[in-house]
Amino acid sequence: MAHTAIELNGISKSFGAVHANRNIDLKITAGTIHGIIGENGAGKSTLMSILYGFYQADSGRIQVAGKPASIKTPSAAIALGIGMVHQHFMLVENFTVLENVMLGAEGEALLNTSIAKARDELERLERDYGLEVDPDALIEDLPVGLQQRVEILKALYRGADILILDEPTGVLTPAEADHLFRILRQLKEEGKTVILITHKLREIMAITDNVSVMRQGAMVATRKTAETTVEELAELMVGRHVLLRVEKGEGRAGDVMLSVKNLTVKDSRGVTMVDDVSFDVRAGEIVGIAGVAGNGQSQLLEAITGVRQAVSGTVTLDGTPVELTGEADPVDLRKRGMAHVPEDRHHVGLVLPFEENENAMLGYHWQDKYLKGPLLDIEAIRDDARRKIEKYDIRPADCRLKTANFSGGNQQKIVLAREMEQDPKVLIVGQPTRGVDVGAIEFIHRRLIDMRDQGKAVLLVSVELDEIRSLSDRILVMFAGRVVGERGPEATEGELGLLMAGVEKKEAAE
């Protein structure tokens, strides 16, 4: 009879007026994979943070392996064999992979001997689990997908017995996610326990043994995965019926609004990341760029939006060229009608210590409506933020709350609301639904289609194949910096998957 790895009894936690967790009971059997799902802001991350010692519960009890545990700090959690991969990475950007993995677990006083040991250990882990990352690469040079691997390696390196993964697949393609799941199954076989938070019900069905559903801070149901369905889970989560499939009419493509010609971009180490890429985006269409994370999509977005220098090529926005020296004025681009939802909302799209209303105008703060002479028009700024909060159902509906205190999905809505409400001609979107719950995805997808139907040109970069397929009018696949194929929305997942894996065009078409 399997014993209980973790048992929570009556856990409650409030942040001011927000009841993030209400009287939660949860039992997790050792050696299983246990899924936790729930809407954005349902309290999943909070609950896991309590388990990992970041937060203290206001009340309730925790038992680990049958023994009462008081987990006051993450180091206490680590000592109990609990490891966590966070929803938002906790890596030191200007450290190497190896340094990040070792950080806080250096062991000895002399760094160079422990570095050698750590390198061996890291390479062993990378081999055993197929998590290849160059140990000497700087984190800031790695695409999000690889940073994720580093986070997993970090937890494994600390010998976690119970591994908590908070939305680990948000940045992965299905193929990468499958890879991760193989690792998780392997861990399970070794008797480890995995807690998996995800918004993707398909993943829940594919890999978990049990699944618990949270809604508005409460635990509303726990099911054996084999005995439930996607529809039931979605309904339990949101409390209403959810459309899991986007409905959209035919697009009517107009003039070319964004044109990219022979664009080549290198990263800071001089490696070619975007290699001679050309494409057009027309008014009234959504062009999706699919690809495994790290194949140049991020650099492509940065070059088009003028923040990263391109080596050669041209980009035209509504007929006028975009400065490609990396010195482009983002304000000028915005004035010319380019809106941009960046892939990395935490470091780029938002200033986390700012109040929500300060982020609701980020990048547009020069607009007259926010200013009263030389001063900021605080009232106008807050009214504007409140309007967006209402229209995009951002929760909690408090424009004075620090942005860092919003849940991941709601932070994403803050960015989307800001960019979409500008009524741009061209909307460039990177990973719009990363970490966003099914209800909100439905909403965001609806909004993107609306933008298209209003005649906007939308360039969508996403590692979610489903998302690309259901939204795009045309799909470009990037592999190793090149566009290796263009397909219509009817392309099958298998066909795109092959292209994304770099299998030659001809073969893929057959």
Partner 1 sequence: MSAPYAKLPAWADYGLIPLINLAVAFLVAGLVVMLVGENPIRAAAILVEGALGRGQNIAYTLYYATSFIFTGLAVAVAFHCSLFNIGGEGQAYVGGLGVALVCLAFDSVLPWWLVFPLAIAGAALFGAAWAFIPAYFQAKRGSHIVITTIMFNFIAASLMVYLLVNVLKPAGSQAPQTRTFLEGGQLPKLNFVLEALGFSVRSAPFNLSFLLALLAAFLVWVLIWRTRLGYEIRMRGFSPKAARYAGVSETKIIIIAMLISGALAGMMALNPVMGDQNRLQMDFVTGAGFVGIAVALMGRSHPAGIVPAAILFGMLYQGGAELAFEMPNISRDMIVIIQGLVILFAGALENMFRPSVQALFASLSPQAAGVEARQGEGG
Ligand X SMILES: Nc1ncnc2c1ncn2[C@@H]1O[C@H](COP(=O)(O)OP(=O)(O)OP(=O)(O)O)[C@@H](O)[C@H]1O
Name the residue among 331, 345, 82 with its Cα closest to residue 195: 82
Inter-CA distances, 478 with 172, 178, 274, Å:
15, 20, 9
Give yes or no for residue 497 binding partner 1 (CB under 8 A). Answer: no
Q: Which stretch binds ligand X (CB under 6 A): 24-32, 229-237, 406-414, 485-493?
A: 406-414
Residue from 20, 265, 389, 415 in contact with ligand X (CB under 6 A): 20
Q: Which one of partner 1, ligand X, Mg ion, none is in contact with 249 (Cβ closer than 5 to 8 A by kind)?
A: none
Closest distance of CB 395 from Mg ion, Å: 13
Q: How far apart are CA 384 and CA 360, in angstroms?
A: 8
Q: Which stretch binds Mg ion (CB under 5 A): 81-89, 359-367, 396-404, 441-449?
A: 81-89
Residue from 121, 167, 267, 419 in contact with partner 1 (CB under 8 A): 167
User: Collapsing DSSP states into helix, strand and coil, what is residue 407?
Assistant: coil
Which of positions 408-427 make contact with Mg ion (CB under 5 A)? 408
Q: Which one of partner 1, Mg ion, ligand X, none is in contact with 403 (Cβ closer than 5 to 8 A by kind)?
A: partner 1
Inter-CA distances, 325 with 264, 278, 299, 321, 459, Å:
12, 18, 13, 12, 21
Residue from 223, 340, 388, 445 in contact with partner 1 (CB under 8 A): 340
Q: Which one of ligand X, Mg ion, partner 1, none is in contact with 329 (Cβ closer than 5 to 8 A by kind)?
A: partner 1
Residue 122: partners with Cβ closer than 8 Å, 6 or more residues away: 97, 98, 101, 135, 153, 157
Give yes or no for residue 46 binding ligand X (CB under 6 A). Answer: yes
Give yes or no for residue 157 binding ligand X (CB under 6 A). Answer: no
Give yes or no for residue 295 binding partner 1 (CB under 8 A). Answer: no
Instruction: Name the burial class of residue 30, with classes exposed (0-12), middle (13-18) and buried (19+) by CB atoms within 10 angstroms of its CB.
Output: middle
Residue from 143, 145, 408, 481 in contact with partner 1 (CB under 8 A): 408
Residue from 44, 192, 248, 418 in contact with ligand X (CB under 6 A): 44
Q: What is the DSSP string of 232-256?
A: HHHHHHHSS----S---------SE
Q: How far apart are CA 426 and CA 257, in angstroms?
A: 7
Give yes or no for residue 45 binding Mg ion (CB under 5 A). Answer: yes
Nearer to Mg ion, 49 or 228 (CB): 49
Residue from 8, 26, 33, 43 in contact with ligand X (CB under 6 A): 43
Q: Which one of Mg ion, ligand X, partner 1, none is in contact with 42 (Cβ closer than 5 to 8 A by kind)?
A: ligand X
Instruction: Name the burial class of residue 257, with classes exposed (0-12), middle (13-18) and buried (19+) by CB atoms within 10 angstroms of its CB.
Output: buried
Give yes or no for residue 313 binding ligand X (CB under 6 A). Answer: no
- Our measurement of the distance from residue 64's CA atom to the centroid of its chain's CA atoms, rounded to an integer in Å, reads 30
Residue from 16, 249, 270, 494 in contact with partner 1 (CB under 8 A): 16
Encoded amino acid at 340, one letter: H
Give yes or no for residue 105 binding partner 1 (CB under 8 A). Answer: no
Encoded amino acid at 208, one letter: T
Residue from 168, 291, 349, 409 in contact with ligand X (CB under 6 A): 409
Nearer to ligand X, 20 or 339 (CB): 20
Instruction: Name the burial class of residue 393, with classes exposed (0-12), middle (13-18) and buried (19+) by CB atoms within 10 angstroms of its CB.
Output: middle
Give yes or no for residue 216 binding partner 1 (CB under 8 A). Answer: no
Q: How far apart are CA 467 and CA 470, in angstroms?
A: 5
Name the residue among 170, 230, 243, 160 with its Cα closest to residue 443: 243
Give yes or no for residue 408 binding ligand X (CB under 6 A). Answer: yes
Inter-CA distances, 494 with 181, 239, 297, 488, Å:
19, 33, 20, 14
Applying CB under 6 A, the residues found at the interface with ligand X are 15, 18, 20, 38, 40-46, 87, 395-396, 405-409, 435, 437
Applying CB under 5 A, the residues found at the interface with Mg ion are 45, 87, 408
